[in-house]
Amino acid sequence: MSKPIPQSAQRDRIRKTVPALVELTERVVYGEIWERPGLSKRDRSLITVAALVATYRPEQLNTHIGRALDNGVTREEIAELITHLAFYTGWPSSMTAGTVLTEVLEKRGA
């Protein structure tokens, strides 16, 4: 039995324009990759957030920080990840990620 795909306002917004991309995202990325047993969802979230910080993808980072928090990663762990990556992937990426983390936490009332 397949797990429910997490909702996304961004995917819903672009569904009419790029339906195949959204379908692949839901079927492959969330339906297959995130469900593989080799890593926990928590670990996958840590890896994904790190990759998005490192590659400067703030548009995607917002969603994945929220998902990481839902998957059991603490705000302190995300803050440490962002700080650690500043020295490996660049200060601007980490400063932007810090802003995104702050916005996510403010929206959650945390």
30 vs 92: CA distance, rounded Å: 29
Query: Residues with Cβ < 8 Å from 13, sequence gap 6 or more?
Result: none
**pLDDT at residue 87, rounded to an integer:** 97
Domains of the chain (ranges, CATH numbers): 8-37 (no CATH), 40-110 (1.20.1290.10)
What was the pLDDT predicted at 1?
43
Task: Record the pTM.
Answer: 0.88
Q: Does the CA dihedral 48-50-55-57 come out positive or negative?
A: positive
State residue 3's pLDDT score: 61
Distance in angstroms (rounded) separating the CA atoms of residues 61 and 94: 11
Q: Is the pLDDT of residue 76 over 60?
A: yes
pLDDT per position as a tens digit, 13-69 = 999 999 999 999 999 999 999 999 999 999 999 999 999 999 999 999 999 999 999
